[in-house]
């Protein structure tokens, strides 16, 4: 692990400085993943194919506008596949593309880190507030 970490430490720096803001792959990816709903939708679609209404019910506090827009962005980036069925009433299915599925593993690792250290982060926040906040 120390080997992996030592390598990635340098990589983070070098990969940022080789690209301006517009073409930086890190910003391109984290900019999208960092928004409010993308990772949640990717997680749901990683589980199985969902219809639009299923996604909306699974994420009670998302607005219709944001669900539509986030799905469109993910589709645009080639992470999500959208299939329309010409039924009455119409139905639309969303699923991950192979590219989208390949993101599940790195994303899962980050989520594991988040859950593992969430308690420590919350404690640090409390300590900060009572001390100098």
Contact positions vs DNA (CB under 7 A): 35-36, 51-54, 61-66, 68, 71-72, 82, 84, 89-92
Query: Binds 52, which of its own copies, DNA, none (CB < 5 to 8 A, cut-off by type)?
Result: DNA
Instruction: Determine, following the binding rule CB under 8 A, whether residue 92 of this chain makes contact with its own copies.
Output: no
Tokens standing for residue 68: 């539509």
16 contacts: CB under 8 Å, gap ≥ 6: 24, 26
Site string for its own copies, 103-122 (x = CB under 8 A): xxxxxxxxxxxxx-xx-xxx
Q: How far is the CB of 116 from DNA (least distance, A)?
A: 25
The nearest distance, CB 35 to DNA, in angstroms, is 4
Asked if 86 and 57 touch (Cβ cutoff 8 Å), the reply is: no
């Amino acid at each position: 692990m120390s080997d992996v970490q030592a390598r990635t430490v340098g990589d983070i720096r070098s990969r940022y400085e080789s690209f301006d803001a517009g073409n930086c792959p890190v910003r391109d990816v984290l900019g999208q993943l960092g928004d409010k709903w993308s990772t949640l939708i990717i997680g749901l679609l990683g589980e199985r194919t969902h219809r639009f209404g299923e996604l909306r019910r699974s994420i009670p506090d998302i607005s219709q506008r944001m669900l539509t827009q986030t799905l469109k962005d993910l589709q645009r980036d080639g992470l999500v596949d959208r299939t329309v069925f010409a039924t009455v009433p119409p139905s639309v299915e969303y699923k991950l593309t192979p590219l989208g599925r390949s993101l599940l593993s790195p994303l899962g690792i980050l989520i594991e880190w988040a859950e593992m250290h969430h308690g420590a982060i919350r404690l640090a926040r409390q300590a900060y507030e009572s001390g100098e906040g």
